[in-house]
Structures are given as structure tokens and as C-alpha cells.
A and B are shown apart, each in its own frame.
Chain A
Amino acid sequence: MLRHSFALRVAGLAAALVVVVCALGFGWGYMRVEGALLTQLDAAIASDAQDLLSDYQTEGPGGLVAGVVDATRRHGALVMLQTAQGTTIAGNIAGAPLGLRGFDTVHVPDGRDLRALGAGLPNGLSLIVAADMAPIRRSAAALTSVLPLAGVVAALAALVLGFVVARRLELRLRAVSDAASAVIAGDLTRRLPESGTGDEFDRLSGTINAVLARVESLVEGLQATTTSIAHDLRSPLFRLRQALESALARPREGEADTQTLEASLVELDSVISTFSALLRIARAEAGLRGAGFMAVDVSDLVGRVCETYAAVAEECGQSLVAEIAPGLTLRADPDLLRQMLANLIENALTHGGAAVAVRVALRQMGEGGVVLIVTDNGPGIPTAEHGRVLQRFHRLDGSRNTPGTGLGLALVAAVAKLHAARLELGDASTGLRVTVTFLATTTAG
């Protein structure tokens, strides 16, 4: 259980840490208190000894003996006057050490530890003044004994607090893990709960939710592509099959067979080009940004494409005019950008009518943004259809007989999305106006 619960592990560790800290604190505190009390005791002993020595100086040995005897009558006072051979003259310290000079801690036969100060007198006598150490040890213990108790309480508190905090962590992590399991199980719409406090967990949940949303849209895109392929490639393939089957059924005839085969090749080529277009859209929609992204001189790119199509338009009695601001750059996939513009222009030329006039404008927009506008004066697209023409294979009723796969604007939409650009279809005074706005974030630095 301990190995598998983060909560218990954290709580246990916190409690152990508190106990160790308290134990160290107790030891250190005891030593400091005992040291301080000992210093006080030493001062008191020295003062008593000083009194007795001044008795000796003013009143001679007799005065000293009287002082010692007097002192032993005071409660708790320990004094001893003895000869160099250890014979007691006066005093009440049994087993006092011989020849003690200065402070020392001595152990006397009755089991007590004494703090003693020894002084030598001129005629070979020794004076010892002492005090029992038991009281200061008791005081030190009493003063610091609160620490182990506080330690135990703090350890318990740490145990509880650690458990509660870690438990909450564990619960929130479990929510993440549950949601991830649900997604693995196939529920792509599942998202992590967010508490709304904006803490680390909310930020993590937000990021994971963004990942899940991305996965969902990719899978949807894949499904849409698959559906489109199934739906719209089937009909031309079916036509092809019919043509070949009926050609096979009739007797061999050179000219007619050649015609059938040539027509089949044309049909097949259109299937292949539809297929490539679908794959390119799928790739752009999958949004593998960065793969083909680079700093692009978009003014130059748009200029070249416009020059190319101006000639095409002119040949058919149509016209294309370009107004391009020089020196604009974008971080973009140049290949897809070229195709996007080509599709927009071809769309205008193909559906705009015999004498359509197309205008392409490229301008700076705000701080580092770039806007591309393609306008024509053709029949335009009804506002109600604006959303639908961006979908795959959607064609206006009137355009069924003009060339095209019905994928041109779907690719434009996918490329715009890949570049985080805003795509708007609008009505020009007459005809269609397509605006693609590349935001400043996508521009090259």
C-alpha cells in the first residue's frame, strides 16, 4: 500500500522529518540551557568562596573555620575545609577530592554530582565550595521537555496535512488518468475537469484539453477525408468501370477502342489529381506546421504567381491586376501558399465569366500582419453558400459543368488554417472578395 500511494509516502516522509528535526532541537536546547545554568552556578560558588576567603584574610584561620561551620548550617550549602592529608577540619562534603584547584565536576560517594571550586590556603589547608548539579539538570530538562512533546504533535500534524494534500493531488491526477483512459477507450469528446482557480493543475488540464481537442479535430478530419474519398471518387471510378466493361462487351474495333482507352486515361487522371488534392488538403489540415515552414518573401511569391496568371487571363480575354506592397515576409509553407493563391485566382478565372477582371492585393496590416485580397467581378457566391463552398466537393449548382474538382476552396481553407490566417468570403461591389489575413504572430522576424 505504501509503495502505491503517493499520499501515504509523502505524509510519512513529512512526519519523519519533523521527528528528526525535533530530536536534534531537543538535544541542542538541553545543552544550551544546561550550559547557561552552569555558568550561573559557577558564579554563585565563586562568590561564596570569595566571602570565606575574605573571612580568612580579616580574621585569620579561626575566622575561616567559624565561617565554614556557619556556612554548613545554611540549607543546601556545601563547604569543606581540610588539611593537605585529607583530615576534615570543618565542612559537610563527604569524600571531597584532595588538592582540588579551580572548578571541576566531581562525583561524590553518596551518588551526587557536584560542581566544586577548590582553593589552596598558605598553611597547606584546602577550601572547597560546592553545589549539587541535580537542580540545574532538572531545570534544563523541564525547560526543554516541551520540545519532544511539540515534536510529536507536529509529526502528527505533518502526517495528517501531508496525507490530505497528497490525497488531493492523487485525486486530481486520477481525474486526468480517468479522462485519458476514456479517450483511449474511444470517447474523443472527453475533457479534463478544470477547477477554475487557474493553478498549476488547471494549467496542466488546460494543456491536456487542448491536446485532446487537437486529436479530436485530426480524427474528424481523417474521417471527413475518408468519407469524401469514398463518396466522390467512387462515381468517376464507377463511370470508368462502365466504359471499360461496355467496350469489352462489344466486338474489337480499332478506332472505338482507342477512343475508349483515351477517355479512360483522362478519367483516371482526373481521379488521380482529385486524390492528390485530397491528400494535400488532409496534410494541410493535419497542420504539421514547421515541416515546410520557412521565412518567405511573400511579396515576391505573390508577384510571380500573379505574373503567371496575368498571362493566362489575358489569353482568354480576361484580366488580372496585382497591387503588391514590396518586401513583406511571412513564416509560411511557400509551396502551399503558392497553391492557395493559384486556387483563388483560378477559381475567379474559371467561375467569373468570360471577361472577368481579377484584382489581387497584398498589403501590410497593422504590426507585422499581412493581408491578401483576391477580388473578381464575376457572379459571386450567394452569402448563404459561403460556409459550404469551403467544404470538400461542394460545388454551386451553376458550376457543375465547369472544370474543377470542387476542392479548390477547401484547400484554401485548410492552408489558411495551417497558417493561423483568417479567411473571409465577402461580396465585392459585384462578384466575390476573398480576404486572407495572416496575423502578426505568423510573420517572420
Chain B
Amino acid sequence: MRVLVIEDDTTTADYIAKGLHELGHVVDIARTGRDGLFLALNETFDAIIADRMLPGPDGLSILRALRASGLRTPVLIVTAMGEVEARVDGLDAGADDYLAKPFAFSELRARLDAMTRRGTETSAGEPATLKIGDLELNLLRRSVTRAGQKIELLPTELRLLEFMMRHPGQVLTRTMLLERVWDFNFDPTTNVVDVHVSRLRRKLDAAGLPMIRTLRGAGYMLSADAAA
């Protein structure tokens, strides 16, 4: 994957670039908004990671310019402004995701993955049923079956499963789950995510092989066979 990183802080830019290199991605770095916009418009990237505050045009201006010129490359806005309003502004401007500094690299990686894969998934249209292996979620009837057997889930568990099934085989961090499933834009002191994931896991696994894998220090992943 070729990724453009627009970031004026050298340490942060190198940190991101190094991590992405290790994952086998090709990384281009732009230090100013001008260079970033120029590169984004003239070369082809699979994803763009842009700092919100930049010399020259800022991250949101770049984003608007890209979207105005019809470019649909997934963009992740990274910022020191973690407030909810700032996040909403970013998403309104056409960002695919928004990440507050400071962040763990695993968080950035998970979001980048979710973002780039979502790009290919949404173009296929919205299915009425989500299906992973023998697990099926009917979005209209809000019902779940595994190998034909009905599984009773609480509303929160259902929302959690839906989100995970929309991102199969991807690492989903606790923060991502809190934001998307619970609308919690803060860190709870209790282990909210772990409790619900383990309850969901118990209900799913009762009817077959384990599907949810815990990745230590990173998050969770749903796949047809977690052991594989």
C-alpha cells in the first residue's frame, strides 16, 4: 500500500513512516500543507494521513480541496485537538477517520486498515445480511444465526457484532469500538469493551469454533476461524 503522510513534526512523521515501513507499506512524507496537497493531487495513494495543523493550508483545507476535485482516497486526520467538535468538523470535511494525538501505533494501524478496506467494501453496495463463515446477521430483522442456530443477543451486543462483522479480519482497538459502538468519546475506567466482547464471544462460540481473537495490547479481531 502506498501512503502519503502530511505532517510537519519530524518526530511524529518519522514514527509513523517507520511503523508503516515495517508493515511493508511505501510511505511518502510531506512537511507542509502545500507539498502535501501537490503530492496528493499528482500522485496516486491508497491512503493519506494528514495532520490537522500544518504550515500552509491546514489538514482540513487539504481535505476539502481533495474532495472538491473528486479524489476519494481515504484520509485519516491526525490531530492534537481531540475534542468531539473537532472530530465532527473533520468528518464533515470528508475525513474517513479522525485520531487524536498522542496515539499508540497499533491504533493508527487498525484505523488505517479499517479505512482502506471500508473503501472497497462500500462500493459493493449494502447487503441485507452480513455473513462471516457460518455466522449470519440479518440487518433488517436484527437477528443472528450461527450454522442455522438462532443466537439471542442484547442490543449492545448486536451493535458490537454488527460493527465487527463489517470489519472482518481487521484489528479493532478498544478506542475504535468505544467510539463506534458505544459513542463513548472518553476512556472509561472500567473494562467496558472487554466485558462485552467476552460475553459476545461466549454466545457465539457456544455454537461453533472460536471466531473472536484477542490481540494483546492491540484489540480484537473477528474472522471465520480465530484459531487460523
Contacts and interface: CB of A to CB of B under 8 A. Distances in A.
Chain B contact residues, majority secondary structure: loop
A342 B199 CA distance: 20
B199 A280 contact: no
Interface stretch (B14-22, B58-66, B110-118, B181-189): B181-189
B15 to A, nearest CB: 14
Contacts of B195: 311-312, 315
Nearest to A311: B195
Interface stretch (B46-54, B82-90, B126-134): B82-90
Contacts of A342: 184, 186, 188
B85 A309 contact: no
A308 B154 CA distance: 10
A292 B84 CA distance: 8
A334 B192 contact: no
Contacts of A308: 156, 182, 192, 196
Contacts of A304: 155-156, 182
> Would you call the interface of chain A mostly helix, strand, loop, or mixed?
helix
A276 interface: yes
Interface string B185-223: 111111110011011000000000000000000000000
A346 B186 CA distance: 13
Contacts of B156: 304, 307-308, 311
B186 A291 contact: no
Interface in A384-412: 403-404, 408
A339 B191 contact: no
A312 B197 CA distance: 11
A403 B189 CA distance: 7
B185 A307 contact: no
A342 B183 CA distance: 12
Contacts of B70: none
A391 B190 CA distance: 22
B184 A312 contact: no
B102 interface: yes
Contacts of B82: 276, 279
Interface in A65-95: none
A303 to B, nearest CB: 9
A335 B183 contact: yes
A273 B154 CA distance: 30
Interface string A332-348: 00110011001000100
Contacts of B154: 307, 311
Interface string B153-191: 011100000000000000000000000001111111111
B184 to A, nearest CB: 6
Contact of A280 (B182, B183, B186): B186
A283 B155 CA distance: 32
8 contacts: A279-B83, A283-B83, A304-B182, A307-B155, A311-B199, A312-B190, A315-B195, A408-B189
Given A283-B83, A335-B183, A404-B189, 4 more contacts: A272-B102, A273-B187, A304-B156, A339-B184
Interface of A: 272-273, 276-277, 279-280, 283, 291-292, 304, 307-309, 311-312, 315, 334-335, 338-339, 342, 346, 349-350, 403-404, 408
Interface of B: 82-85, 102, 154-156, 182-192, 195-196, 198-199
